[in-house]
Amino acid sequence: VSPISKSQLLENYEISPDSISEVYHTLRDDFLNSNGHEPSIDCIFIGRLVPQKGLQELLDFFSDKSDKTLTIIGDGKLENLVETYANRYDNITFKGQISNGDELRTILQKHRYLVLNSIKTEKWEELFGIVIIESMSQGVVPISSNHSGPKSIITNEIGYLYDEGQLKKSLNEILNQPIDEHKSKNALKASKFYSVENISQFWAPIEN
């Protein structure tokens, strides 16, 4: 199981820690290649367009910051809301759902930051986000609310975590300073940990 799932199992069931093996999610092989990180756009969101992703707050922030740019990729029941903002504000771009890996990598390479403004509900919080490690693999620095999944990936060396309700404060601070090239390089380097070749080593003791 993932480290997050292991913690939840130990918390809710009488299970020995030694009986649970941690296995991480993997990064697709095509995301291990990068044509170079040349960002010209500030932020990107990739994911389901649903309320618990905190999209309203994210859109409101950028609608008030004409000098800051945002791209949104995904689909879901808030698609009309996103389209409305994209049509009204020149600094917000909506690209819909993108499944082609080459196209997604090319888009990521043009962005400085990935933003995940997830909001906890009674039954849900953000778990391991593949989109985080995909973005990191292209040198994109992740910014996320402090949920268990992002927290298991993002360290101070590669990105930013903030408490729910602090999106505006955090983005104002981050976007008004020069991009930290060390974080970008560290994020790209850290993403290699999630390669299939590396993660397969964690499976060996389980299979044997």
Task: Provide, rounded to the nearest whole percent, the portion of the chain with pLDDT above 90.
Answer: 64
| Residue 201 pLDDT | 66
CB atoms within 10 A of CB 83: 15
Q: Is the pLDDT of residue 202 over 70?
A: no
Answer with the residue of higher pLDDT: 73 or 1.
Answer: 73
CA distance 117 to 143: 8
| Residue 206 pLDDT | 47
CA distance 199 to 193: 7
* Range from 59-63, 125-129, 174-178 carrying the lowest mean pLDDT: 125-129
| Residue 145 pLDDT | 96
Among 33-37, 119-123, 194-198, which range has the highest average pLDDT?
119-123
Q: Which CATH architecture has domain 22-198?
A: 3-Layer(aba) Sandwich (3.40)
67: pLDDT confidence band, cut at 50, 70 and 90?
very high
Closest CA to 129 of 189, 74, 91: 74
| Residue 23 pLDDT | 55
pTM as predicted: 0.84
Q: Is the pLDDT of residue 197 over 60?
A: yes
pLDDT digits (tens, 9 = 90+) for 10-46: 566 566 665 545 556 667 767 776 677 888 999 999 9
User: Strands 70-73 and 41-46: what pairing?
Assistant: parallel
Q: Is the pLDDT of residue 96 over 80?
A: yes
Q: Which two tokens stand for residue 22?
A: 């941690």
**What are the boundaries of each domain within the chain?**
22-198
